[in-house]
């Protein structure tokens, strides 16, 4: 089925099930309970999970396979967002043309930037991509204001032409992005006892696209192209002396991952039709690097996991305030309670970035292979315990999954 090996097929089905039932899985706590703040099953956050999942999946095709560390990938996300919003303004509120243009535009930008940046490798490549992204950010923020909206960002207006939608479509309100009439913001609630589950069209649209993107990335990983990319990471010299030219392969990987970023940007704009330059800032590029590494660079599922983890933690941790903390530690004696809260306080709420930085360091220091490797190590530990008596066969090393 789908032209995949059994193991990959199970992985794809697992991810598909998780995304389809995400509104249930992410809302395990009843409404109004103390734990409800840990629920993540609301549309806005779920959309971010899958959109950043796409972004990270694409980044992983470049970084995970070839080892080229781009520090400017958010630029393509920004290009995608701007392109999509322009499509909404000029042509139609239908998301399809917006996504198509965004992917094409980000692909073109990636082709240009990749062509230049890939003439160097190692840290030079990282710095070049960083320089390009910062340049685009600076331009978007200043001179290109007519195109990008500058500091305020690019927004929809009532008097946008929207050629295809016709005049009657916007009767006094700015219309919302839709897929052939299905409005992205529409949701249906399912109330089961004290649980409320929300099913949002935008989320499911993004989820379907993420599944397609994920499927495509599996195919790329298992393809001759994917193998060449891993060979590039492993030994460029040998590749050269084997009659293969690493440049076009790397460039193709760069463009593909740039297009993934553009797709993610277009989906962001489709969920909330505005685009700002801060999306291209280099901290945003750093974030996708973190997602990929946290999950496990070079693994299939890693980037999706990493993106989910980071966005979940961002959301939950930045919502916790000192009152909540005091509530948690109320069981402690007063002095100790205050002390514990004071210790933890800098890391929560607005301190989310501090926690993020610490996670970043911890992952690079202790778990360079990310969560996937961590999981494998744990699994191996358990397996060894179980089979310690009859373990005769030496561990066979499989290629990176």
Partner 1 sequence: MDAILLQVLNGLDKGSAYALIALGLTLIFGTLGVVNFAHGALFMIGAFCAVTLSRLLTLSHEVIDETRTDFLGNPLKVDVPYLYDIFGETAGAAIIDWAVPLSILFAIPVMILIGVVMERGLIKHFYKRPHADQILVTFGLAIVLQEIIKYYYGANPIPTPAPAAFTGSFDFGALIGFEPNTIIYPYWRLVYFAFAALIIGAVFAFLQFTTFGMVVRAGMADRETVGLLGINIDKRFTIMFGLAAAVAGLAGVMYTPINSPNYHMGMDFLVLSFVVVVVGGMGSLPGAVLAGFLLGILESFASMREVIDLIPGINQVIIYLVAIIILLTRPRGLMGRKGVMED
Partner 2 sequence: MGILEVKDVNKRFGGLQALGDVNLSVTENTCHAIIGPNGAGKSTLLNCLVGKLIPDTGSVMFDGQSVLGRTPHEINQLGISRVFQTPEIFGDLTVMENMMIPCFARRDGAFRLHAIESVGSETELREQAEQMLEDVNMLDKRHMHSASMSRGDKRRLEMAMCLVQNPKLLLLDEPTAGMARADTNNTIDLLKEIKDKRDITIAIIEHDMHVVFSLADRITVLAQGTPLVEDVPEKIKGHPKVQEAYLGESA
| Binding region for partner 2 (CB under 8 A) | 3-5, 216, 219-220, 222-228, 230-231, 233-235, 237-245, 248-249, 252, 256, 396-400
Residue 353 Cβ vs partner 1, minimum distance, rounded to whole Å? 5
Of 223 and 387, the one with the shorter C-beta distance to partner 2 is 223
Of 266 and 284, the one with the shorter C-beta distance to partner 1 is 284
238 lies in the site for partner 1, by CB under 8 A? no
Residue 236 Cβ vs partner 2, minimum distance, rounded to whole Å? 10
Inter-helix orientation angle 74-90/282-295, to 10°: 120
Binding characters for partner 1, 267-306, by CB under 8 A (x = yes): ---------------xx--x--xx--x-------------
User: How many angstroms separate the CA atoms of 134 and 185, rounded?
Assistant: 32
Partner that binds at residue 378, options partner 1, partner 2, none, CB closer than 5 to 8 Å by kind = none
Q: Which two tokens stand for residue 86?
A: 């322009």
3-class SS of residue 173? coil
Residue 224 Cβ vs partner 2, minimum distance, rounded to whole Å? 4
Partner that binds at residue 36, options partner 2, partner 1, none, CB closer than 5 to 8 Å by kind = none
20 lies in the site for partner 1, by CB under 8 A? no
Of 142 and 223, the one with the shorter C-beta distance to partner 1 is 142
Rule CB under 8 A: which of 52-81 touch partner 1? 67, 69, 71
Task: Tell me the torsion sign for CA atoms 147, 149, 151, 153.
Answer: negative
3-class SS of residue 94? strand
User: How many angstroms separate the CA atoms of 79 and 27, rounded?
Assistant: 33
Of 210 and 297, the one with the shorter C-beta distance to partner 1 is 297
User: How many angstroms separate the CA atoms of 249 and 115, rounded?
Assistant: 11
Residue 66 Cβ vs partner 2, minimum distance, rounded to whole Å? 11
Give the 3-state secondary structure percentages of the chain, helix then strand then coil, rounded to 5.
70, 5, 25
Of 21 and 115, the one with the shorter C-beta distance to partner 2 is 115
Q: Which of 181, 160, 153 is nearest to 265 (CA)?
A: 153
182 beta partners: 179
User: How many angstroms separate the CA atoms of 152 and 146, rounded?
Assistant: 11
Of 55 and 249, the one with the shorter C-beta distance to partner 2 is 249
Of 273 and 298, the one with the shorter C-beta distance to partner 2 is 298
Q: Which residue pairs, CB below 8 angstroms and at least 24 apart, start in 21-25? A: 22/46, 22/49, 22/203, 22/207, 23/197, 23/198, 23/199, 23/200, 23/203, 24/197
Partner that binds at residue 112, options partner 1, partner 2, none, CB closer than 5 to 8 Å by kind = none
Alpha helices, DSSP H only, in 118-169? 122-141, 145-148
Partner that binds at residue 37, options partner 2, partner 1, none, CB closer than 5 to 8 Å by kind = none
In the complex, which residues of this chain contact partner 1 (CB under 8 A)? 67, 69, 71, 116, 119-124, 126-128, 130-132, 134-135, 138-139, 141-144, 282-283, 286, 289-290, 293, 346, 351, 353-354, 356-361, 364-365, 368
């Amino acid at each position: 089925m789908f032209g995949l090996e059994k193991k990959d097929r199970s992985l794809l089905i697992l991810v598909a099930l998780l995304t389809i039932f995400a509104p249930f899985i992410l809302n395990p706590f009843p409404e109004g309970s103390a734990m409800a703040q840990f629920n993540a099953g609301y549309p806005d956050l779920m959309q971010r999970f899958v959109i950043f999942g796409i972004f990270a999946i694409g980044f992983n095709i470049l970084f995970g396979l070839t080892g080229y560390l781009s520090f400017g990938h958010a630029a393509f996300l920004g290009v995608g967002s701007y392109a999509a919003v322009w499509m909404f303004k000029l042509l139609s509120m239908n998301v399809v043309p917006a996504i198509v243009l965004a992917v094409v535009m980000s692909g073109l930008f990636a082709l240009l930037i990749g062509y230049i940046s890939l003439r160097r490798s190692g840290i030079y490549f990282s710095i070049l991509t960083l320089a390009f992204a910062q340049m685009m950010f600076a331009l978007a923020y200043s001179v290109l204001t007519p195109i990008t909206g500058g500091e305020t960002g690019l927004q929809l207006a009532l008097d946008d032409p929207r050629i295809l939608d016709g005049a009657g479509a916007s009767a006094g309100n700015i219309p919302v992005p839709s897929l052939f009439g299905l409005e992205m913001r529409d949701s249906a609630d399912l109330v089961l006892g004290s649980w409320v589950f929300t099913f949002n069209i935008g989320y499911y649209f993004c989820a379907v696209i993420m599944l397609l993107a994920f499927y495509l990335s599996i195919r790329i990983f298992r393809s001759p192209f994917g193998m060449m990319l891993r060979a590039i990471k492993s030994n460029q010299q040998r590749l050269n002396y084997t009659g293969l030219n690493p440049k076009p392969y790397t460039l193709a990987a760069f463009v593909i991952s740039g297009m993934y970023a553009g797709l993610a940007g277009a989906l962001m704009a489709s969920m909330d039709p505005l685009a700002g330059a801060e999306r291209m800032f280099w901290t945003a590029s750093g974030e996708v690097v973190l997602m990929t590494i946290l999950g496990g660079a070079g693994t299939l599922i890693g980037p999706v996991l990493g993106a989910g983890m980071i966005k979940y933690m961002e959301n939950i941790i930045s919502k916790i305030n000192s009152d909540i903390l005091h509530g948690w530690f109320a069981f402690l004696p007063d002095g100790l309670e205050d002390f514990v809260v004071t210790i933890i306080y800098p890391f929560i709420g607005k301190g989310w970035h501090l926690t993020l930085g610490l996670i970043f360091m911890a992952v690079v220091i202790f778990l360079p292979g990310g969560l996937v490797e961590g999981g494998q190590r744990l699994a191996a530990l358990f397996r060894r315990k179980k089979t310690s008596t009859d373990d005769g066969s030496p561990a066979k090393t499989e290629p990176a999954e």
